[in-house]
Structure 1
Amino acid sequence: MGVRSIFSKPLARWVVERQQTWMYQPAQTQQRWFEQLVAAGRKTAFGRDHHLHDVQTIADFRQAVPVRDYEGLKPYVERILAGEPDVLWPGKPLYLAKTSGTTSGVKYIPITRDSIPNHINSARDALLNYINETGKSDFLDKKLIFLSGSPELTEKNGIHVGRLSGIVNHHVPAYLRSNQLPDFETNTIDDWETKLERIIDQTIDQPMSLISGIPPWVQMYFDRIQERTGKLIKDVFPDFSLFVYGGVNFEPYRAKLFETIGKRIDSIETYPASEGFIAFQDSQTEPGLLLLLDSGIFYEFIAADEFFNENPRRLSIDEVELDKNYAVIINNNAGLWAYSLGDTVKFVSRDPYRLLVTGRIKHFISAFGEHVIGEEVERALQTAMQQHPETEVVEFTVAPVVSPAEGLPYHEWLVEFATPPHDPTAFAHVLNTRLTELNVYYDDLITGAILQPLKLMSLPRGAFQRYMKTQGKLGGQNKVPRLANDRVIADGLLTQAQPV
């Protein structure tokens, strides 16, 4: 047993004991953070605009500060980008995490000196909870790999800008850096295909024990290793014992991933976002992810079926119910105020509070972390139809093809045309090009050869109506979602593809 493994156990015990002080005092913990955040917020431009000096209670706060998404907060972010201090949080952010936006194309999420521990310590504590519960710590003495974006950062008016995974890479604890792979130079390679081959070169003969990343990226890494060696992953990496993942729903990938590995191994699910690290799996035996109530975030929740009401009720942690979908709203020490993450969660425990991530408040595709939303596909279609004016569309929907019979995964567009384009291939090319312009993550996946360009499936007339009829939803008030993160609707449509 090595030094890291030995010393991790008392640290793990201390972290878990400390958790008890807030896990079982959720309302008090959240009230304390509410008061601290509002006190700091009074010193900012946002605080002056929203009269935070008059806010004394949570009810006062909800009267003063409406729920916003990124677009609602964007004018303040633009002031930060211009170099202005004390806008959303005292001083200037340390970083701006660059992520995919909705209407804006790119979002810049502030990360401050106060909020960076939320991202770093939460990832650390996920591992320490695992060590404390299982007693397994030997993996720390071998090689660890974190498949992530480039750690290279740019600068805007004294603020470092980059992908969240790249920012976090700069804060990996020193005691882990010596056994972390790949090296910095490899991590900065932009082209995913090239980067992946280099990562394999560096890891294939190493005692890899922990592998972390978004499941489809990890699957591609495993597939390439199998192509080189003809072996199962367990035979290439006999020390591989822990898989850490987050970012997308794991279920579509679980069976194939473990088949590729060739044995069952432990796994830890995490719930990180550029806006904050929300939860992690703290137990191998209990369902759900532990909501991090003492990490610089004051949470609010809105019942998903009320979210789009004019004045939906905003709930604190002690007001939520089990097995009900809620939209997540955060207030944090990065200066995000009543900020809608866009995610929905369902609580499976209140003692302590554990949750499942159930989806997005709006329909989306994020099978590979791309977060393509309805507005983006509609704008892409509008552009294609403008460039092919002969085209008329009856209905359409978009779904991922995760495991095609051959080639890379892709997005499949199922379209029912009243008048099809003269050149469907050119039409599909415009769709794909416009989508890469609208969504930076989709562009990354295409240029990095993780996804191939989208494919167009022309459905016969009446296919959508026949499908809706089979669902008992034929009528003017029922609509087929523009996109989905699974194949349920797409496969149902394909069964109705032939006229009856």
Structure 2
Amino acid sequence: MSIKSIAAKIFARKIYNQTQAWSKKPIETQLEVFKNLIQSAKETEFGKDHNFASIKTFEDFQKNVPIRDYEDLKAYIEKVKIGEENILWKGKPIYFAKTSGTTSGAKYIPLTKESMPSHVNAARNAILHYINETGNADFVDGKMIFLQGSPILTEKHGIKFGRLSGIVAHFVPKYLQRNRMPSWETNCIDDWETKVNTIVDETIKENMSVISGIPSWVQMYFERLQEKSGGKKISEIFKNFNLFIYGGVNYEPYRAKFEQMIGKKVDSIELFPASEGFFAYQDSQKEKGMLLLLNSGIFYEFIKADEFFTENPKRYTIGEVELGVNYALIVSTNAGLWGYNIGDTIQFTSLAPYRVIVSGRIKHYISAFGEHVIANEVENAMKEATAGTDIVINEFTVAPQITPSSGLPYHEWLIEFEKEPENIETFAEAIDDSMRKQNIYYDDLITGNVLRKVVISKVSKNGFQEYMKSQGKLGGQNKIPRLSNDRKIADNLK
């Protein structure tokens, strides 16, 4: 055992103990965060506009600060972008993270000197919790790769602009720099396909022990490695690769393909990062869900997803949530976001400590007939339908077909298979059965002959990659929505 791995175990125990301290008093921890946020921002323009000086309780805050999305906050953000100070948070942010928007095009999310440490430390702490629980620390002596955006930043009015993953690349600790892949020059390549090919050339002969990234783009990296190596399994190329770190999408739909490509099972750690904040990470290999970070300068509120689009829905705080309920996640942060709807929905898997899974996006659902199918349901259905089979899925998405050329409407599952089922109808039946068990409204529509059962359409090899390329969204933090309430993606794929 190296000195580095021994030191990692000692540090891991320290971080674990610190986590235990705040996670055992969640309500008190969130109250402290809340008070600090209000006190710190009461002299800002936003704080004065919303009378922060009078806010003493959560109820006061909810009366004064409505739920907002990016468009609602944009007027304030535009002032910050041109260099004005004390608008959303004291002083000026040090960065703006550029991220993809929906109705508003690109979004610019502020990062401050107070918020930046949590973006860096949370990923580190996830790894340290893994070390503390498993005792596995040998990987710290190997090479680690983080598939991410370019670290090249621009600057305006004293604020630097870039992709979140590129910004975070500037904060990699010195003790990891020697182990980190790819090179800085390669990380700066904008074109994703060129970048992946260059990463393959740089890493194929290295001792890679940790690989991290969004599963769909790591899959592309693995495929290129196999092409370069003449079809070798990833575990043959990287004999000490034993830990996969991911975020952004559910790993389960990719797991079978990954294990086939790797040639063995490897441990994994799930992260829940976003430009708006680093919200949670998997703190245990034995428990379901990710630990919600209640002490990281973020005050959380939760709105039941099925009430979200009603007038004045109830906003719950951490002590009021229930297991298994689908909530829209609302945050107020030390980067100057207030009552901000990040767009993700979560469910709690544990209340002691508070652990969550990401169940989907509040605007990504299918409810063409009132069924309100969410991402978590379609991912569970795919997992159940492929369990115990040799079927391998590369990627999939689901859309409603409201006006078929004949017969009843249906949900169309567009699937790119690596290994197809022997009987596509039997496979569709298994998916449909799972959906009906999970979603009572969908079951009623099938039973009532409003919808017919699931229809599967095959997508050609690399079809999803080609679609993302056509949209200018190949690589980086971009990902295919698991489902949508219209046919824009479906019709493009077909």
Q: Determine if the TM-score, normalized by the shorter chain, exceeds 0.5.
A: yes
Return the offset for 1:120. Answer: 0.4
Q: Distance in 2 between matches of 1:345 and 1:118?
A: 20
Tell me if the contact between 2:33 and 2:297 (Cα under 8 Å) persists in the aligned partners: yes
Tell me if the contact between 1:397 and 1:482 (Cα under 8 Å) persists in the aligned partners: no
Match of 1:12 in 2: 12
Match of 2:328 in 1: 327
Matched, 1:409 2:463: yes
Unaligned runs of 5+ in 1: 375-394, 413-431, 437-441, 453-479, 495-500
Matches within 5 A, 1:464-479: none
Match of 2:255 in 1: 254
Matched, 1:482 2:486: yes
Q: Distance in 2 between matches of 1:70 and 1:335?
A: 12
Matched, 1:164 2:194: no
Deviations 1:44-97 (A, max 9, x none): 110011111111111101000000011111111100111101110001111000
Q: Give the AA of the match of 1:61.
A: F
Unaligned runs of 5+ in 2: 366-373, 380-396, 400-408, 418-457
Q: Distance in 2 between matches of 1:274 and 1:104?
A: 16
Q: Give the AA of the match of 1:39.
A: Q
Match of 2:234 in 1: 233
The range that moved more, 288-297 or 398-407, is 398-407
Tell me if the contact between 1:398 and 1:483 (Cα under 8 Å) persists in the aligned partners: no
Match of 2:455 in 1: none
Return the offset for 1:481. Answer: 2.2
Return the offset for 1:407. Answer: 3.9
Q: 1:275 to 1:445 in 2, by over 3 A?
A: same
TM-score normalised according to structure 2 size: 0.78
**Which secondary structure does the structure 2 equivalent of 1:341 belong to?**
strand
Matched, 1:60 2:60: yes
**Which secondary structure does the structure 2 equivalent of 1:152 belong to?**
coil
Matched, 1:193 2:197: no
TM-score normalised according to structure 1 size: 0.78
**Which secondary structure does the structure 2 equivalent of 1:170 belong to?**
helix
Q: 1:31 to 1:443 in 2, by over 3 A?
A: same
Q: Distance in 2 between matches of 1:399 and 1:95?
A: 40
Q: Distance in 2 between matches of 1:281 and 1:86?
A: 35
Match of 1:37 in 2: 37
Q: Distance in 2 between matches of 1:484 and 1:295?
A: 38
Q: Distance in 1 between matches of 2:106 and 2:44?
A: 24
Match of 1:343 in 2: 344
Q: Distance in 2 between matches of 1:254 and 1:346?
A: 21
Tell me if the contact between 1:398 and 1:484 (Cα under 8 Å) persists in the aligned partners: no
**Which secondary structure does the structure 2 equivalent of 1:277 belong to?**
strand
Match of 1:384 in 2: none
Tell me if the contact between 1:102 and 1:373 (Cα under 8 Å) persists in the aligned partners: no
**Which secondary structure does the structure 1 equivalent of 2:206 belong to?**
coil
**Which secondary structure does the structure 2 equivalent of 1:410 belong to?**
helix
**Which secondary structure does the structure 2 equivalent of 1:344 belong to?**
strand
Q: Distance in 2 between matches of 1:171 and 1:402?
A: 37
Matches within 5 A, 1:39-188: 39-188=39-188
Q: 1:177 to 1:400 in 2, by over 3 A?
A: farther
Match of 2:402 in 1: none
Tell me if the contact between 2:414 and 2:459 (Cα under 8 Å) persists in the aligned partners: no
Q: Distance in 2 between matches of 1:243 and 1:266?
A: 6
Return the offset for 1:406. Answer: 4.7
Matches within 5 A, 1:416-495: 442-445=471-474, 481-482=485-486
Q: 1:265 to 1:303 in 2, by over 3 A?
A: same
Q: Give the AA of the match of 2:81.
A: L
Deviations 1:132-156 (A, max 9, x none): 0000011011100000011111112
Q: 1:16 to 1:294 in 2, by over 3 A?
A: same
Return the offset for 1:490. Answer: 12
Tell me if the contact between 1:396 and 1:482 (Cα under 8 Å) persists in the aligned partners: no
Return the offset for 1:410. Answer: 2.4
Return the offset for 1:451. Answer: 9.8
Return the offset for 1:21. Answer: 1.3
Tell me if the contact between 1:363 and 1:483 (Cα under 8 Å) persists in the aligned partners: no
Return the offset for 1:309. Answer: 1.2
Return the offset for 1:405. Answer: 6.5
Structure 1 consecutive aligned stretches of length 4 or more whose deviation exceeds 3 Å? 364-367, 395-407
Deviations 1:112-171 (A, max 9, x none): 000001100101000000000000011011100000011111112111100011011111
Matches within 5 A, 1:206-217: 206-217=206-217
Alpha-carbon RMSD:
3.2
Tell me if the contact between 2:323 and 2:351 (Cα under 8 Å) persists in the aligned partners: yes
Tell me if the contact between 1:402 and 1:409 (Cα under 8 Å) persists in the aligned partners: yes
Return the offset for 1:396. Answer: 11
Q: Give the AA of the match of 2:334.
A: N
**Which secondary structure does the structure 2 equivalent of 1:67 belong to?**
coil
**Which secondary structure does the structure 1 equivalent of 2:250 belong to?**
coil
Q: 1:75 to 1:405 in 2, by over 3 A?
A: closer
**Which secondary structure does the structure 1 equivalent of 2:90 belong to?**
coil
Tell me if the contact between 1:401 and 1:409 (Cα under 8 Å) persists in the aligned partners: no
Return the offset for 1:360. Answer: 0.7
**Which secondary structure does the structure 1 equivalent of 2:278 belong to?**
strand
Q: Distance in 2 between matches of 1:411 and 1:178?
A: 32
The range that moved more, 245-254 or 259-268, is 245-254
Matched residues, number: 415
Return the offset for 1:402. Answer: 4.3
Q: Distance in 2 between matches of 1:346 and 1:282?
A: 16
Return the offset for 1:401. Answer: 4.5
Q: 1:402 to 1:169 in 2, by over 3 A?
A: farther
Deviations 1:218-258 (A, max 9, x none): 11111111111121000000000000000112222111011
Return the offset for 1:211. Answer: 0.1
Q: Distance in 1 between matches of 2:296 and 2:23?
A: 12
Match of 1:391 in 2: none
Return the offset for 1:484. Answer: 9.9
Match of 1:274 in 2: 275
Deviations 1:237-285 (A, max 9, x none): 0000000000112222111011100000100001001100010100001
Q: Give the AA of the match of 1:345.
A: I
